[in-house]
Amino acid sequence: MDPDIAKPVSDVVYHKNPLTNGPNTEEVTPLKRCLVQLMSKTFGQAYFGSKRIGISLDGPEYASRAVPGGTSQFNPGEAEEVAWLCKHMLDYVPETTDEEPTRQVKPADIGISSPYAAQCAEIRRQLQRLAITGVTVQMLDITTGSQVQGREFEVHIVSWVKNNPGDPYDTGFITNPGQQCVLNSRARSFLISFGAYQLWCNNVANNIDQIAKKQMFYRFAKNFQETNQVIAKRDFLDGKAGLPVDTYHFQAVQLTGPQTMGQRGNRGGRSGAYSVVRGAGRGRGGPQQGGFNTPNQRAHGGWDKRGGRGRGNNNPRGGTTGQPIPKW
């Protein structure tokens, strides 16, 4: 596994005790040279030579939805871009020299994965529509996250699918730590990750990464951002259209507004999950210590510019001022 891929996995998954050794393959192979050359020519100044990149696809044109009559999610816009990039890699004939040999990407090099079976089916459909010369869909390995565990690919393309522009915190089960660990660690030479990185990194910039059970997911998003490995939607689309990309545009937005997100009240229970849809968080605490015969304490955190409100025997008035509410 290339260090560009292995080190973030170590730093994020094992952040309390990072791995000191592992199966890193720092060798510059002909395939890696080909892929770096291709990405540099396609995305110009938006690409810095890493063997791990995130591609940010956000907005209503890349919204996900459930299959009719089912629960599995798919994202037609994202699937179309995954299929295009796959074709772009397979069609590319790299420049080569005796000193720096390269080789063309082969179908057997590529693995495509998604947490959702419906997205795998949509990617197959989009690839069939493109009709790549000399390549059939059956020659490409397209699998769900649960099926890909224990396997590796020279080039791994991940389609995270989930994007709800109306609720930026709606991430479905893609935040599952097992999904994150597996899908971020299947590539030996090159990892390409499609997702709503603008929304996710905005959440990180506004301290939303503290949501329970989503911390690994947001640490991966933050790591992509901090290492300048996210290609902004505008840069991706310009590169796809063959237009020059002269600067790096991706940047998380520090959102501000007149309202703030309440924190839990003092001595209350654990605060509840933040929700744009419900507009409030609720938590319930346990009984007070010391054997007093008093009611359970509670904490309430809401979308309240005054901050959180706590309710309990020792805190009738409430908690601290919260964080800014994102404005999408």
Greatest alpha-carbon pair distance for the chain in Å reads 83
What rounded mean pLDDT belongs to the chain? 79
Domain ranges of the chain: 3-240, 255-328
In percent, the amount of the chain with pLDDT more than 70 equals 72
Task: DSSP for 87-155, please give it.
Answer: HHHHH------SSS------GGGEEEEES-HHHHHHHHHHHHHH--TT--GGGSEEEEHHHHTT--EEE
Q: What is the CA radius of gyration of the chain?
A: 22
Q: What is the pLDDT of residues 88-130, one digit of tens each?
A: 999 999 999 999 999 999 999 999 999 999 999 999 999 999 9
Q: Which residues of 154-187 are buried (b: 16+ CB within 10 A; e: fewer)?
A: bbbbbbbbbbbbeebbebbebbbeebbbbbbbbb
Please answer whether residues 305 and 259 qualify as being in contact, where contact means their C-beta atoms are separated by less than 8 angstroms. yes
The two tokens of residue 255 are: 């959102």
User: What is the rounded CA–CA span in Å between residue 118 and residue 66?
Assistant: 9
The model's pLDDT over 230-261, given as tens digits with 9 standing for 90+, comes to 999 999 999 999 999 999 999 988 765 433 33
CA distances from 163 to 65, 76, 124, 143, 196 (A): 8, 11, 20, 20, 6
Q: 208 pLDDT band (50/70/90 cuts)?
A: low
Q: Residue 150 burial by CB count (10 A; 0-12/13-18/19+): exposed, middle or buried? A: exposed
The alpha helices in 14-116, defined as continuous H runs, are 30-43, 76-91
CA distances from residue 72 to 116, 118, 163, 224 in whole angstroms, order as listed? 6, 6, 13, 27
Give the whole-angstrom CA distance, residue 305 versus residue 235. Answer: 37
* The pLDDT value given to residue 18: 59
d(CA 105, CA 155): 9
User: How many Cβ atoms from other residues are within 10 Å of residue 265's Cβ?
Assistant: 27
- pLDDT cut 90: percent of the chain above it: 56
| Distance of alpha carbon 18 from alpha carbon 9, whole angstroms | 9
pLDDT of residue 252: 86
Fold of 3-240: Rossmann fold (3.40.50)
Q: How many CA atoms lie within 13 A of 282 on its CB side?
A: 3
Report the alpha-carbon distance of residue 264 to residue 315 in Å, rounded.
Answer: 11
What are the pLDDT digits (tens) for 187-204?
A: 999 999 999 999 999 888
Each residue's pLDDT tens digit, 15-41: 666 555 454 566 899 999 999 999 999
